[in-house]
Chains A and B, each alone.
Chain A
Amino acid sequence: MSEIKSDVLVIGSGGAGLRAAIESCDRGASTTLVSNGALGKSGATMIAGADVTLDGAGAARIGLPGNEEDSKEKFFHDIVIQGYHLNNQKLVEAYVRDAPVRTKELIDWGIKYVWDGKRALLTQGVELNRVLVDQVRKRSITVADDVYTTDLLIQGNTVVGAVGVDINRGEIKAFRATSVVIATGGWQRAYSFTSAPGGMTGAMHVAALRAGADLVNMEMVTFCPNVILWPPALRGDIFPYILIEMFGDLLEKHGRPFLRDEYDSLIYKIATTTEWNKLIYSMAATRIVLRGDGSPQGGTYYSIKTVPTNIVDEAEKLYPGWKWLRTDFSNLMEWLKAGNAVEVAPAAHYMEGGILVDEHARTTLKGLYAAGECSGGLFGANRVASAITQILVQGAIAGKSASEFSKISKMREPDKSQLDGIQTRLLAPFARKTGIHAVDLKKRVRKIADNHLWVLRNGNGLKKAVSELESILSNDLPRLSLHTAARTYNKEWIDAIEIENTAQVLLASARSSLFRTESRGVHNRSDYPLTNNNSWLREVITRSVKGRLTLTTRPVTITKLRPPKGKFGFEEGILKAVKELGE
Chain B
Amino acid sequence: MNLKTIKVRVSRFDPKVEKAPHYQTYEVPFEPRMTVMDVLDYIYENLDPTIAYHSHTSCHRRVCTRCNVTVNNKPGLSCHTEVAEDVTIDPLPRFKVIRDLVVEGL
- Tell me, rounded to whole Å, the shortest Cβ–Cβ distance linking B17 to chain A: 8
**Contact in complex: B66, A47 (CB < 8 Å):** no
Quick one: given A230-B33, A488-B98, are A47 and B16 in contact (CB under 8 Å)?
Answer: no
Q: Tell whether A197 pairs with B58 under 8 Å between CB atoms, given A232-B35, A327-B80.
A: yes
Q: A486: CB under 8 A from chain B?
A: yes
Whole-angstrom CA separation of A17 from B102 in the bound complex: 26
Question: Nearest-CB distance from A15 to chain B (Å)?
Answer: 14
Chain B residues with Cβ below 8 Å from A104 are: none
Please indicate the chain A residues that have their CB under 8 angstroms from the CB of B27 in the complex.
Answer: none
A471 to B59, CA, bound (A): 31
A306–chain B nearest beta-carbon distance, Å: 27
Q: Tell me whether A167 and B61 are in contact in the complex, defined as CB-CB below 8 angstroms, given that A230-B33, A488-B99 are known contacts.
A: no
Q: Flag whether A409 is at the interface (Cβ < 8 A).
A: no
Decide: B56 and A46 in contact? CB cutoff 8 A.
no
Number of residues in B with C-beta < 8 Å to the partner?
A: 40
Measured CB to CB, the nearest residue on chain A to B37 is A232
Flag whether B90 is at the interface (Cβ < 8 A). Answer: no
- Taking CB atoms and an 8 Å cut-off, the chain B residues in 44-58 that contact chain A are 44-45, 48-58
Residue B70 lies at the interface, judged by CB distance under 8 Å to chain A: no
How far is the CB of A16 from the nearest CB of chain B, in Å?
16
Q: Is the CB of B60 closer than 8 A to any CB of chain A?
A: yes
Q: CA of A232 to CA of B32 in the docked complex: distance in angstroms?
A: 9
CB-CB nearest in chain A for B34: A232
Out of A37, A325, A439, name the residue touching B57 (CB < 8 Å): A37
A168-B104 contact in complex given A232-B35, A486-B14, A490-B52, C-beta closer than 8 Å: yes
The reply to whether the CB of B79 lies closer than 8 angstroms to some CB of chain A is yes
A198 within 8 A of B: yes
Within the complex, the shortest CB–CB distance from A197 to chain B, in Å, comes to 4
Q: Is A236 an interface residue (CB 8 A)?
A: yes
User: Complex formed: what's the CA distance from A167 to B58 in Å?
Assistant: 14
Known: A488-B98, A488-B99, A491-B52. Is A47-B58 also a contact (CB below 8 A)? no
| B3 CB-CB contact with A under 8 Å | no
Docked Cα-Cα span, A41 to B104, in Å, equals 14
In the bound assembly, the distance between CA atoms of A46 and B66 in angstroms comes to 13
Counted as pairs of residues, one from A and one from B, with CB atoms less than 8 Å apart, the total is 115
In the complex the two chains form, what is the Cα distance from A491 to B101 in whole Å?
Answer: 12
Q: Is the CB of B52 within 8 A of A41?
A: no
Kindly provide the distance from the CB of A199 to the nearest chain B CB, expressed in whole angstroms: 4
B62 interface hit (Cβ, 8 Å): yes
Contact of A365 with B by CB under 8 A: no
Contact A198 B55 (CB under 8 A): yes
Instruction: For A237, give the chain B residue with the smallest CB separation.
Output: B61
B64 at interface by CB-CB < 8 Å = yes
**Beta-carbon contact of B57 and A233 below 8 Å:** no
For the complex, give the distance between the alpha carbons of A400 and B65 in Å: 32
Q: Is the CB of A494 within 8 A of B56?
A: yes
Residues of B contacting A43 in the complex (Cβ-Cβ under 8 angstroms): 57
**B106 neighbours in A (Cβ, 8 Å):** 38
Q: Give A43 to B57 CA distance when docked, in angstroms.
A: 7
A203 to chain B, nearest CB (A): 11
A126 within 8 A of B: yes
The CA-CA distance from A380 to B77 in the complex, in Å, is: 38
Interface string of A370-410 (1 = CB under 8 A from B): 00000000000000000000000000000000000000000
Does A38 lie within 8 Å of B44, measured CB to CB? no
Contact A46 B102 (CB under 8 A): no
Which chain B residue shows the least CB distance to A194? B60
A547, chain B: closest CB distance, angstroms = 27
Distance from A463 Cβ to chain B, minimum over Cβ atoms (Å): 30
Contact yes or no, A232 B38, CB < 8 A? yes
What is the bound-complex CA distance between A2 and B8, given in angstroms? Answer: 39
Q: By the criterion CB–CB under 8 Å, are A489 and B51 in contact?
A: no
Q: Does the CB pair A233–B56 fall under 8 Å? A: no
Interface string of A491-506 (1 = CB under 8 A from B): 1101000000000000
Binary interface encoding of chain B residues 51-92 relative to chain A, with 1 for a CB under 8 A from any of its CBs, else 0: 111111111111111100000000000011010000000000
Q: In this assembly, does A326 line the interface, its C-beta being within 8 Å of a C-beta of chain B?
A: yes
CA distance A198 to B60 in the complex (A): 9
B52 touches A327 (CB 8 A): no
CA distance A38 to B56 in the complex (A): 11
Q: Beyond A231-B33, A486-B16, is A325–B98 a contact (Cβ under 8 Å)?
A: no
Q: Are B64 and A197 in contact (CB under 8 A)?
A: yes
A47 touches B61 (CB 8 A): yes
The answer to whether A491 touches B49 (Cβ under 8 A) is yes
A158-179: contact bitstring with B at CB < 8 Å (1 yes, 0 no)? 0000000001100000000000
Please determine whether B50 and A484 come into contact, CB atoms closer than 8 angstroms. Answer: yes
A217 at the interface (CB under 8 A from B): no
For A197, what are the chain B residues with a Cβ–Cβ distance below 8 Å?
A: 57-61, 64
Would A325 and B55 be within 8 Å (CB), given that A233-B80, A233-B82, A489-B102 are in contact?
no
Q: Give the CA-CA distance A231 to B48 in the complex, in Å.
A: 25
Q: Which B residue's beta carbon lies closest to that of A148?
A: B56
A455 at the interface (CB under 8 A from B): no
Given the known inter-chain contacts A197-B58, A488-B52, please indicate yes or no for A326 contacting B63, CB distance below 8 A: yes
Is the beta-carbon distance between B66 and A232 smaller than 8 angstroms? no
Distance of A168 Cα from B100 Cα, bound (Å): 12
Q: How far is the CA of A490 from the CA of B38 in the complex (A)?
A: 18
CB contacts (< 8 Å) of A327 on chain B: these are 61-62, 80
Q: Nearest residue in A to B67 (C-beta to C-beta)?
A: A198
CB distance from B2 to the nearest CB of A (A): 14
Point out the residue from B59, B65, B99 that lies within 8 Å of A489, measured CB to CB. B99
Q: Apart from A237-B60, A326-B61, what 10 extra A-B contacts exist at CB < 8 Å?
A: A36-B56, A46-B64, A126-B63, A168-B104, A197-B64, A198-B55, A198-B60, A233-B35, A483-B50, A491-B51
Across the A-B interface, give the 7 residue pairs with the lowest CB-CB distance, nearest first: A37-B57, A199-B57, A231-B33, A42-B57, A484-B50, A326-B62, A197-B59
Chain B residues with a Cβ under 8 A of chain A: 14, 16-17, 31-35, 37-38, 44-45, 48-66, 79-80, 82, 98-100, 102, 104, 106
Q: 10 A-B contacts, Cβ less than 8 Å apart?
A: A37-B57, A46-B63, A168-B98, A168-B102, A198-B57, A232-B33, A484-B50, A486-B14, A489-B102, A491-B44
Binding site for B on A (CB under 8 A): 36-38, 41-43, 46-47, 125-126, 148, 167-168, 197-199, 230-233, 235-237, 325-327, 437-439, 482-484, 486, 488-492, 494
